Amino acid sequence: MRVLLLVGLVCAVTLPAGAAGPPPPFDWWPVPSPDGTHVAFTRIHDGRAARMQVEILDLATRRLVAAGASQSQLDPTWSPDSKQVAYAAGGVLWVVRADGTGKHRYLAPVKAFAPAWRPNSTQLAYLTTHGSQNTDLWVGGALWARNVIGRPAWSPDGSAVAFQRDDGIYVATGPGAERQVAAIANPGPPAWSHDGRTLAYGVVSVVFTGPADGSASPTVVGNALGGVGQVSWRSDGSRLAVSFDRGVSILRLAPGAAAQGAWIARASGPGVAYQDRSPGLFLSAATAGCGGRVGIAEYTGGRLRQLTDCGAAGP
């Protein structure tokens, strides 16, 4: 029997009664580095126009550095050696060191976004509207697929990239070498299991898993979640963390476990990611000491630890 561990969170962030002015900044979409030493995330400042900023947090020193800013999602992605972060700002792809130095442009057309760093490589996969009718997927300087939506996701060995279209999930292994692995309407972004055999993704209120080679139909592993977004695999393949419109759910995929649930935070924003080398789960959440602001938190061993709070690194 599969188990659904519901993490009861509330997505809305509101000002206290009588408060004036824009709400304080809040942090979404945590992306831990492969070696587990840093977390990159997007800080959102609300004013007349939303302003988003990539921040990099050193988990050992709690030093926080700002890497770049834009008015749209920056999609930070780590290099395989954990030394650099790539992100999109204003249609341009940038690369910066984890300490915030050495910022430079990545060679890609203007109007590029949603970068994903290829494992064992210096290449980025990204989407671009440059010279396309809709949105195309490029890897380095080569066109791999047309009419792609969402953020591409690399297989663990870097041999294939998964992506969404309106009619399903696809996998490409090179320019023009693609196949549909799941025929399903309006899927969410795919996530690879660590053994490279399975893809997980959400569709409205349902979470599916299916073989990455398309050899079998997808299987429902969670439902009644509502507004399913980002999905992340635990490294041992035993759990999926799922962001949805009321918070975060943990789907326990191993059979034979008893059902259980736990509250770990009172508010959340989108974004959830397991750390590859540990059972630690990073998510967007507000704890009791956060003052209503959503920050980045780590959930390990049944405990939630706030890492960012009210514009600065946590204690």
The Cα 61–Cα 151 span in angstroms is 31
Alpha-carbon gap, residue 240 to 150, rounded angstroms: 20
Please classify residue 116 by burial: count the beta carbons closer than 10 Å to its beta carbon, then call 0-12 exposed, 13-18 middle and 19+ buried. buried
CA distance 229 to 270: 7
For 289, other C-beta atoms within 10 Å of its C-beta total 11
pLDDT tens for 123-164 read 999 999 988 788 999 999 999 999 999 999 999 999 999 999
Pairwise CA distance, residues 104 & 3, whole Å: 45
The pLDDT assigned to 16 comes to 36
Instruction: Look at residues 67, 13, 16, 12 and name the one whose alpha carbon lies nearest to residue 39.
Output: 67
CATH, domain 3-313, list 2.60.40.3710, 3.30.450.20, 3.20.20.70, 2.120.10.30? 2.120.10.30
Domain ranges of the chain: 3-313
> Cα(301)–Cα(285) distance, rounded to whole angstroms?
17
Per-residue pLDDT band for 170 (boundaries 50, 70, 90) equals very high
The yes-or-no verdict on residue 291 having pLDDT over 70 is no
The fraction of the chain above a pLDDT of 70, given in percent, is: 82
Burial of 179 (0-12, 13-18, 19+ CB in 10 A): exposed
Instruction: Check residue 151 and give its pLDDT.
Output: 92
Tokens of 14: 């509101």
192 vs 245 pLDDT, higher one: 192
Residue 225: name the closest of 254, 201, 202, 193 by CA: 202
Per-residue pLDDT at 298 exceeds 50: yes
Return the pLDDT at 94.
97
The pLDDT assigned to 2 comes to 35
**At residue 260, does pLDDT exceed 50?**
no
Q: How far apart are the first and last CA of the chain?
A: 40
228 pLDDT band, cuts 50/70/90, is confident
Give the three-class secondary structure for 150.
strand
More confident residue, 152 or 7: 152
Question: How does pLDDT run across 41-60, given as a tens digit for each residue?
Answer: 999 886 545 688 999 999 99
Instruction: State residue 252's pLDDT score.
Output: 86
Q: What is the pLDDT of residue 269?
A: 62
Compute the average pLDDT of residues 205-218: 94
Cβ atoms 283, 294 nearer than 8 A = no
- Is the pLDDT at 40 greater than 90, yes or no? yes
How high is the pLDDT of residue 55?
Answer: 95
Is 279:28 a contact under the CB 8 Å cutoff? no
User: pLDDT > 90: what percent of the chain?
Assistant: 57
pTM here? 0.86
pLDDT at 11: 30
What is the 3-state secondary structure of 24-46? Answer: CCEEEEEEECCCCCEEEEEEEEC
Binned at pLDDT 50, 70 and 90, residue 287 comes out as low
**CA dihedral for 26, 85, 94, 138, sign (positive or negative):** negative
